[in-house]
Structure 1
Amino acid sequence: MKSHHPKIKAPPRPLFSCAFFRHCTTTQPSPSPTTPTSPTHHHPPLPLAPPSPPPPPSSPPPPPPATAGTKPSSSSSSSSSSTSTSQSFTQWRFPLSTSPLCPSPHTQPPPPLHPPPPPISSANLQEVFHLAELQLSFDSSDFDRLSGLHLLERSLVPNPPAEPACPAELMCRIVDCMRRKPGVKPAAKILFALCLAGDNRRVAVEVGAVGAVVELAMELDRSSAERALAALELMCTVGEGAAEVRTHAMAVPVMVSMMARMDGRGREHAISILAVIYGGGSASVAVAVAPPEEVARAVVLALQGDCSARCRRKGAQLLKLLQESEEDGRLDLPKEGG
């Protein structure tokens, strides 16, 4: 009598793909001792037992300790992959403005550096001179005077023109603005810019700019004093300007004080003006005000500080002139650095 064995049914197809769970494997079922082996028939492979289901919601596993800025680690690998993709897309769509490789379309690039503008034309400069002269009248308000000075500063300081010459009346009002607190800084800039042209130096000397700078130098701040001394050195290149600075009773003591007080270019301008004073051949006024020995000691002390090559060259020239100014030609000069 033949025994009938029940036919083994194939297991139902899983509802989810094994690639999703990443843990299903396929193995051959172990042969049964009662099942005859047939060389031409193979039973379908049986899957391993499914993984144990997760615990019921009533007893969830304790969550890991949360740290600042860290999300719980219960999300699957697919959700983490989606998060990283969204982050990369966000960075591509909204790049940081500080990244040099991906500049923001709404961020304006820094403007390129441009050379200074060309000098203003002669016709336009004459109109600027006329308008500024009206605004710098002596009965104008401080606001009008400052407006006129700023107009001249914008027209002259970036690239000073060589012509036409500044009218004498306007130059006189510019020098007068140096005596007023609200207009000291722009007036010093304008005076220096104008004195870069030879014709304007003569105009400045004629209106008394030499005496004004000598008398106001001690009251100016560092930047304004440096520009005023630079303008005075330029005015000394004119014969009348050099003669006026030599005969001014305050020129030597003021320049000695400025030489000790300032450094850099300010000290260089003060030494150069002193060289002009003592290089005129007749320095009787200067000798009466300040003996050459005292001036020489101040020069040697100033040269020990921060000085340019031109400043040291002018200082050596001044020390030689101070020695020659003595009647016997001998001057007990202190050694530099001692």
Structure 2
Amino acid sequence: MKTQHHHQLKIKPLFSCAFFRNCTQTVHSPTAAHAPPLALSLPEPPLRPPSASPPLTPQPPPPPPILSGHNPQNPDSDSSSSSNSHSFTQWRFPPTFHRPPPMESHPPPTVPPRLPPPPRKHPEIPAPNLEELFHAAEIQFTTGSESERFAALHMLEHSLVPNPPADSEDRGGGDGRDAVVPAVVIDGVVGYMKQRKGAKSATKVLLALCLAEKNRHVAVERGAVGRVVESLADLEGAPAERALAALELMCTVAEGAAEVKSHALAVPMLVAVMGNMEGRGREYAISVLAVIFGGAGDQVGAAPPEEVARAVVLAMQGDCSARGKRKGAQLLKTLQENGRLDSTLA
């Protein structure tokens, strides 16, 4: 009994020390109402040694350690580890944006100007069969209505202007290109020269037909010379120029030259038209006047030679082609040699 009491006296001071008193009261004591959370002591991160210059990119502070099953932001909820690792990765490795180098300014490329295509000379239109073309136009001019005759005029224009007929000695007769224009077609074409709506097409067709000498004879026989002279008062510009060119071609035929000389309105009309035209128009008018005053004999109803010479001199001083000036100088010389012109005007 004494021995037991002696052992109890020895143990009592051992458990009454401060360390064991705290442990028994806080951790192991069953009398504690609420156990405080276990305080964990984390080791402090090592201090970074001072550097001479600060880093170019500031480094974020190291993340706190993540314990398994413990979320320091929300201790009561167990969030998924994928969202934590995703936010941790974005926070640990921040994106870096590189500044693009400055763009060099270059002048815009110069685009060469686009040149207009060369004018097309109707290479896609085949040469018509003149025999069939003239036959169709002859039927329409003879028995057709006004609209059909006008359509025949346009048919001749679209067929003959791109491929005008021409004389050729070695041309074969199988392709129908050696056909002579019928007299009815000449009458129908020249009849439109004094009409405003058909004068443009009529002068084109007549000039294309007169390019062939065989058709000039037909035109002169049908009185085309006089009808062209009379229509000059109603024409101007390009149609008048083409009419004068056709008249010059018809004057290459002896009957055509004789008819223009005998026409009372030929010289006055040519003098009046020559003053209102330019370029090739003056050239054609001077050529016809040279035909009228070039031969012997008196011209019926011809204007005084002095008036003709004065008009020719004015035409040569203006916009006139080289051929027109040569024709004009030859005409003035002819008038002086025939004694019809004073030497002061030549």
Bucket of the pairwise TM-score, normalised by the shorter protein: 0.5 to 0.7
Secondary structure of the corresponding residue to residue 145 of structure 2: coil
Question: Judging changes above 3 Å, is the alpha-carbon distance between structure 1 residues 181 and 322 closer, same or farther for their aligned structure 2 residues?
Answer: same
**Is 1:258 aligned to 2:273, yes or no?**
yes
**Cα distance between partner residues in 1 of 2:189 and 2:290:** 27
Q: 1:120 Cα shift?
A: 2.1
Partner of 1:36: none
**Cα distance between partner residues in 1 of 2:315 and 2:215:** 31
Q: 1:136 Cα shift?
A: 2.6
**Cα distance between partner residues in 1 of 2:132 and 2:56:** 104
Partner of 1:157: 161
Q: 1:126 Cα shift?
A: 1.4
**Cα distance between partner residues in 2 of 1:178 and 1:289:** 24
Q: 1:229 aligns with which of 244, 251, 266?
A: 244
Secondary structure of the corresponding residue to residue 197 of structure 2: helix
Partner of 2:307: 294
| TM-score relative to the length of structure 2 | 0.63
Partner of 1:68: none
Q: 2:216 aligns with which of 191, 201, 204?
A: 201
Secondary structure of the corresponding residue to residue 178 of structure 1: coil
Report if the CA contact (8 A) 2:165-2:212 is conserved.
yes
Secondary structure of the corresponding residue to residue 249 of structure 1: coil
Aligned amino acid, residue 302 of structure 1: A
Aligned amino acid, residue 8 of structure 1: P
Partner of 2:181: 166
Partner of 2:77: none
Question: Judging changes above 3 Å, is the alpha-carbon distance between structure 1 residues 136 and 330 closer, same or farther for their aligned structure 2 residues?
Answer: closer
Partner of 1:241: 256
Q: 1:144 aligns with which of 128, 148, 153?
A: 148
Q: 1:319 aligns with which of 332, 337, 344?
A: 332
Partner of 2:26: none
Q: 1:158-198: per-residue Cα shift (whole Å, max 9, x none)? A: 12122321111111111112132221110100000000000
Secondary structure of the corresponding residue to residue 285 of structure 2: helix
Question: Judging changes above 3 Å, is the alpha-carbon distance between structure 1 residues 46 and 29 closer, same or farther for their aligned structure 2 residues?
Answer: farther
**Cα distance between partner residues in 2 of 1:169 and 1:301:** 40
Partner of 1:57: none
Return 5+ residue gaps in structure 2 as ranges: 1-41, 61-96, 104-110, 167-177
Aligned amino acid, residue 58 of structure 2: L
How many residue pairs align between the two structures? 248
Partner of 2:78: none
**Cα distance between partner residues in 2 of 1:139 and 1:203:** 22
Aligned amino acid, residue 200 of structure 1: N
Report if the CA contact (8 A) 2:305-2:341 is conserved.
no
Q: 1:51-88: per-residue Cα shift (whole Å, max 9, x none)? A: xxxxxxxxxxxxxxxxxxxxxxxxxx89999xx9xxxx
Partner of 2:88: none
**Cα distance between partner residues in 2 of 1:237 and 1:175:** 19
Q: 1:137 Cα shift?
A: 3.4
Return 5+ residue gaps in structure 1 as ranges: 11-27, 32-44, 51-76, 85-98, 102-109
Partner of 2:58: 48
Question: Judging changes above 3 Å, is the alpha-carbon distance between structure 1 residues 185 and 49 closer, same or farther for their aligned structure 2 residues?
Answer: same
Aligned amino acid, residue 314 of structure 2: L
